[in-house]
Structure 1
Amino acid sequence: MKIRKIVIKNFRGVKALDWNVPTADIFCLIGKGDSSKSTILEAIRYTFHPQWNLALSDSDFYQCKIADPIVIEITIGHLAADFCALNKYGLHLRGWDAAAQKLHDEPDDHFESVLTARLTVDKDLEPKWTVVCDRNPDGVLFKQADRNKVGVGLIGVFSERELSWANGTALAKLTAAQSLSELLANASRTARSSLDVDRAVTLTNFDTAATKSQEIAKLLGVPVLDAYKAHLDLASINLKVGGLSLHDGEIPLRQLGLGSRRMLQCGIQKAGLEEGHITLFDELEFGLEPHRITRLIKHIKDDKRGQYFLTTHSPMVLRELTVQDLHIVHSNGGVVTIVSAAEKGLEEHEVQGKIRSSAEAFLAKKLVVCEGATEVGFIRGFDDHQLENGQDPLSYHGVALLDSKGASKVKGMAIAFKKLGYDVSVLADGDAEKQFSAADAAGLVAIGIPTYVWSDKLSLEERAFVDLPWASVLASLTLAQVELFYPVYDQVRSQYQDVLDPDIREWPDSPKLRTAIGAAAKSAGWFKDTTRGDLWFKAVSAAFNDPVFGKTNLAVELGRLWEWAKRV
């Protein structure tokens, strides 16, 4: 069986979610932290929980508002034959139009037959499972055994139970039918008999206490049928099915490393269900080395009987998947939306290539698309400076910096991420009109992408050396010459074409010299990578405490960018 639609109301961080699930087998939910990715997995698990005693609390309600009930509706297709029987749920069948991604209340020959399972939790915290349709909104009881048949399994951080024969685990489903309860009851009786054999040796002190207790009983008129003695109480030691777990020799497999346990659980889940399965994998990369992540994802891709819902914060996982597998989760005031990375209209923007080159960006909430690595490094330094001055860092606001690797790619990259639901801004040079023009910048602003471009058609280096206080200019020259080993005098002299003192500390401030320094820095690439851009900002950071410098184009544009980043 496979999921076709998910509706969640008032469950944990989700106030509302309505997701028509595409026809596919792998759904990797990505996005910033606290966007409710794991909550979606838990909602699926709870709806098909194989036991009646689901533990819930007030904190499971959205903002703990228990007056608003939790309602989770999950529509499943690819149904087992017995689910469609009239004496089961046949009267509640609905129709799923896969092409239009639309649910119809009446089944139809042109649609896939589906059922909608609903979990409702009111303030009494009692879960109620039903199968519903608009024709019968009260529905009928969704039986525990049938929830178990759907084959939903969660592989989370804490899942040692899955390596035992506890009720509802994949191992239990993999086991041929036999009376495990009887087997374990007999094991309890054997333990009792074994203890009795060695009574004279092992229970001497216990039996002495029992004899004293018998004397007290007689004294108080309590009847004694035979004789008091110490013995095992079968009711207290009764082994449960969950007590039978998978071992490697004498060692329980729950002692395996976390990654190994999770990979094994995934394999057992796949092997244990002839009718297919729905596997929920929270933080797939957790506990796994890169080569084992690759192996696990290949295992998942090769499974044609299962449906997988994954979450991840790993760029490695993203690079192993395709755009069809990725779904970006956004949450705005508890209203959760999910956008497919393969959504129509994004083909021209080559999203797959962006996943390969910029996977980290897909895991953020906001993106600053920077023209190049210099801008990325410079903004990183600016971020550290703001933090030192009591501001919250960019990471607090969910902001990631993205190197577009050239002015010609800025516009396409910004539009692609905007269409995927991200909050996007652009930081670009003004010196490459053919690659990124003023019209391009205006076009981005028109579709809600703030764009920050240095004035006078200058690059970052040229703009900085025009605007910075002279002390910061000299600090930049020292950094380039002493720490980055550039022949600063020769490179500036070739641009300046006038007499210069060989000692850069003696250079006089002038507009002509500033222009020459900016041109040399740009052409020679003094700060053309992230690390050197960061070092450069740190060398000039004192300027950002100067109120006069604060009115220059460089400072003003960075300030505007920072205000955008802070905006909720």
Structure 2
Amino acid sequence: MKIRKIVIKNFRGVKALDWNVPTADIFCLIGKGDSSKSTILEAIRYTFHPQWNLAFSDADFYQCKIADPITVEITIGHLVADFSALNKYGLYLRGWNAAAQTLFDEPDDDLESVLTVRLTVEKDLEPKWIVVCDRNPDGVPFKQADRNKVGAGLIGVFSERELSWANGTALAKLTAAQSLSELLANASRTARNSLDVDRPITLTNFDAAATKSQEIAKLLGVPVLDAYKAHLDLASINLKVGGLSLHDGEIPLRQLGLGSRRMLQCGIQKAGLEEGHITLFDELEFGLEPHRITRLIKHIREDKRGQYFLTTHSPMVLRELTVHDLHIVHKKGGVVTIISAAEKGLEEHEVQGKIRSNAEAFLAKKVVVCEGATEVGFLRGFDDHQIENGRDPLSYYGVALLDAKGASKVKAMAMAFKSLSYDVSVLADGDAEAQFSTADTAELVAMGIPTYVWSDKLSLEERAFQDLPWVYVLASLKFAQDELSYPVYDQVRTQYREVLPEDLSTWPDSPKLRSAIGAAAKNKNAGWFKDTTRGDLWFKTVSPAFKDPVFGKTNLALELGKLWEWAESV
């Protein structure tokens, strides 16, 4: 069976979600942390929970508002035959148009037959599972045995139970029919017999205490039928089905590493459910090295019977998947939306290539598309400066800094992220009109993408050396010469074309010299600060200037301030 539509209301962090699930077998949910990706997986698991004793608490309600019931409706297709029988759920069948991703209340020959399962939890915290349709809104109970047939299993961080024969586990479903209860009862009896055999050695002291207890019993008039002795109480042993677990020799496989346990569980889930399965894999990368991530994703991709819902925060996982597998989860005010990275109309943005080269940014809420590595490093330094002055970091607001690797790529990169409903802004130089023009800026702004470009058609280096107090210009020169080992004197002299003292600290402030320094710093053959680390260190060199109220009115400071305001905005 496979999921076609998911509707969630008032469950944990989700106030509302309505997702028409595309026809596919792999769905990797990505996006900023706390966007409710794991909650979606839990909602699926709860809807098809194979046991009756599912516990809820007030914290499972959206904002703990127990007056608003939890409702999860999941429409499933690819049904097993008995689900469509009239004496089962045949009267509740509906129709699904895969091409239009539309649900119809009446089944039809041209539509896939589907069932909608509804899980509701009200303030009494008692879950109720029913199969519903608009024709029969009261529904009919969706029985525990039928929930088990759907084959929905969660592979989470805590997976030890799944490597035992506990009720509902994939391992139990992999096992041919046999009375496990009888087997374990016999094991308990065998344990009693083996203890009797070794009694003279292992239970001498215990039996001595039992003999004393017998003497006390007789003194008190308590009847003794035979003789007191230490022995196993079968009722207290209480071996359960979950006590039978998978071992490697004598070692329980629950002692395997986290990644190995999860990979094994995934394989058992696939093998144990002959009629198909819905596997929920939370944080796929947990405990796995890159080569095992590759192996696991290949295993998932080759499984044509199962449907997989994954979550990840790993760029490695994103690079192994395709745009057709990736679905971006956004949440605002509790309302969750899910957008396919392969949605029609996005082809022109070449999303696949951007995911491969900029995977980290796809895991954020907001993206600042920076023209180059210098801007990324400079903003990292600015971020540290703001933290030191009592502001929350960019990470608090879910902001990722993205290196577009050139002015010509800025516009396309920004538009691609915007098309996937990310909050996007741009930080770019103004010195490459042919690659990123004033018209490009206007177009991005019209699309709702704030764009910050240095004035007077200058690069970041040129703008900084025009705006910084002279003492920090000299500090930058010293940093480039002493720490980064650039021949600063020669490079600036080439641009200045006049006599300069060899001692940088004695250079006189002038507009011409500032321009020469800016040109030398940005020169593509020199590029004093042309990577993330050097850009970050450069900012730290000049950061005290940001406390100067006069400098605060310059273009450099104002544009950075505007960008920060955007980052902090909800």
TM-score bracket, shorter-length normalisation: over 0.9
Give the aligned residue type for 1:349.
Answer: H
**Alpha-carbon distance in structure 2 between the residues aligned to 1:125 and 1:344:** 41
> 2:290 corresponds to which residue?
290
> 1:546 corresponds to which residue?
548
> 1:484 corresponds to which residue?
484
The 5-angstrom pairing of residues 402-481 of structure 1 reads: 402-481=402-481
Give the aligned residue type for 1:537.
Answer: F
> 1:253 corresponds to which residue?
253
> 2:531 corresponds to which residue?
529
> 2:143 corresponds to which residue?
143
The 5-angstrom pairing of residues 233-382 of structure 1 reads: 233-382=233-382
**Alpha-carbon distance in structure 2 between the residues aligned to 1:49 and 1:397:** 35
**Alpha-carbon distance in structure 2 between the residues aligned to 1:558 and 1:213:** 84
Offset of residue 231 of structure 1: 2.2
Give the aligned residue type for 1:530.
Answer: T
> 1:37 corresponds to which residue?
37
**Alpha-carbon distance in structure 1 between the residues aligned to 2:138 and 2:53:** 22
Overall identity of the aligned pairs, in %: 88
Offset of residue 221 of structure 1: 5.3
Secondary structure at the counterpart of residue 352 of structure 2: helix
Offset of residue 207 of structure 1: 3.5
Change (3 A) 1:222 1:61: farther
Offset of residue 382 of structure 1: 0.6
Give the aligned residue type for 2:38.
Answer: S
Change (3 A) 1:370 1:249: same
Offset of residue 219 of structure 1: 5.4
Does the alignment pair 1:560 with 2:554?
no
**Alpha-carbon distance in structure 2 between the residues aligned to 1:220 and 1:7:** 69
More deviation, 341-350/211-220:
211-220
**Structure 1: runs of 5+ lacking an equivalent:** none
Secondary structure at the counterpart of residue 79 of structure 1: coil
**Alpha-carbon distance in structure 1 between the residues aligned to 2:204 and 2:373:** 79
What per-residue deviation string (whole Å, max 9, x for no partner) do you get for residues 520-547 of structure 1? Answer: 1111311111111111111111111111
More deviation, 474-483/315-324:
474-483
Offset of residue 216 of structure 1: 4.8
Give the aligned residue type for 2:447.
Answer: I
Offset of residue 283 of structure 1: 0.6
The 5-angstrom pairing of residues 138-177 of structure 1 reads: 138-177=138-177
Change (3 A) 1:68 1:218: farther
**Alpha-carbon distance in structure 2 between the residues aligned to 1:405 and 1:196:** 77
Offset of residue 211 of structure 1: 4.2
**Alpha-carbon distance in structure 1 between the residues aligned to 2:230 and 2:400:** 67
**Alpha-carbon distance in structure 2 between the residues aligned to 1:221 and 1:482:** 98
What per-residue deviation string (whole Å, max 9, x for no partner) do you get for residues 245-276 of structure 1? Answer: 11111111111111111111111111111111
What per-residue deviation string (whole Å, max 9, x for no partner) do you get for residues 354-404 of structure 1? Answer: 111100000111111101111001000111111111111111111110011
Does the alignment pair 1:11 with 2:6?
no
> 2:77 corresponds to which residue?
77
> 2:516 corresponds to which residue?
516
**Alpha-carbon distance in structure 1 between the residues aligned to 2:217 and 2:332:** 69
Aligned length: 568
> 1:399 corresponds to which residue?
399
Give the aligned residue type for 1:558.
Answer: L
Secondary structure at the counterpart of residue 401 of structure 1: strand
**Alpha-carbon distance in structure 2 between the residues aligned to 1:298 and 1:449:** 37
What per-residue deviation string (whole Å, max 9, x for no partner) do you get for residues 323-358 of structure 1? Answer: 110011111111111111111111111110111110
Secondary structure at the counterpart of residue 324 of structure 2: helix
**Alpha-carbon distance in structure 1 between the residues aligned to 2:380 and 2:202:** 70
**Alpha-carbon distance in structure 2 between the residues aligned to 1:158 and 1:275:** 26
**Alpha-carbon distance in structure 2 between the residues aligned to 1:288 and 1:556:** 45
**Alpha-carbon distance in structure 1 between the residues aligned to 2:51 and 2:151:** 13
Offset of residue 153 of structure 1: 1.1
- Alpha carbon RMSD of aligned pairs, Å? 1.3
**Alpha-carbon distance in structure 1 between the residues aligned to 2:326 and 2:294:** 16
**Alpha-carbon distance in structure 1 between the residues aligned to 2:105 and 2:228:** 68
> 1:385 corresponds to which residue?
385
**Alpha-carbon distance in structure 1 between the residues aligned to 2:233 and 2:137:** 49
More deviation, 52-61/16-25:
52-61
Secondary structure at the counterpart of residue 323 of structure 1: coil
What per-residue deviation string (whole Å, max 9, x for no partner) do you get for residues 485-509 of structure 1? Answer: 2221222112112221222211110
Offset of residue 226 of structure 1: 4.0
Offset of residue 205 of structure 1: 3.5
**Alpha-carbon distance in structure 1 between the residues aligned to 2:407 and 2:142:** 57
**Alpha-carbon distance in structure 2 between the residues aligned to 1:383 and 1:302:** 44
**Alpha-carbon distance in structure 2 between the residues aligned to 1:326 and 1:222:** 73
What per-residue deviation string (whole Å, max 9, x for no partner) do you get for residues 280-323 of structure 1? Answer: 11110000000111111111111111110001000000000001
Change (3 A) 1:278 1:463: same
**Alpha-carbon distance in structure 1 between the residues aligned to 2:224 and 2:85:** 59
More deviation, 205-214/246-255:
205-214
More deviation, 212-221/11-20:
212-221
**Alpha-carbon distance in structure 1 between the residues aligned to 2:205 and 2:250:** 31
Offset of residue 220 of structure 1: 5.2
**Alpha-carbon distance in structure 2 between the residues aligned to 1:214 and 1:140:** 60
**Alpha-carbon distance in structure 1 between the residues aligned to 2:458 and 2:344:** 37
Give the aligned residue type for 1:510.
Answer: S
Q: TM-score, normalization: structure 1?
A: 0.98
Secondary structure at the counterpart of residue 557 of structure 2: helix
**Alpha-carbon distance in structure 1 between the residues aligned to 2:487 and 2:232:** 87
**Alpha-carbon distance in structure 1 between the residues aligned to 2:336 and 2:226:** 69
Offset of residue 203 of structure 1: 3.1
Offset of residue 93 of structure 1: 0.6
More deviation, 479-488/555-564:
479-488
**Alpha-carbon distance in structure 1 between the residues aligned to 2:187 and 2:280:** 34
Offset of residue 229 of structure 1: 3.2
What per-residue deviation string (whole Å, max 9, x for no partner) do you get for residues 167-186 of structure 1? Answer: 11111111111111111111
The 5-angstrom pairing of residues 493-504 of structure 1 reads: 493-504=493-504
Secondary structure at the counterpart of residue 29 of structure 1: strand
**Alpha-carbon distance in structure 1 between the residues aligned to 2:403 and 2:155:** 35
> 1:231 corresponds to which residue?
231
**Alpha-carbon distance in structure 2 between the residues aligned to 1:418 and 1:28:** 20
> 2:188 corresponds to which residue?
188
Secondary structure at the counterpart of residue 324 of structure 1: coil
Offset of residue 199 of structure 1: 3.2
Give the aligned residue type for 1:296.
Answer: L
**Alpha-carbon distance in structure 2 between the residues aligned to 1:55 and 1:176:** 30
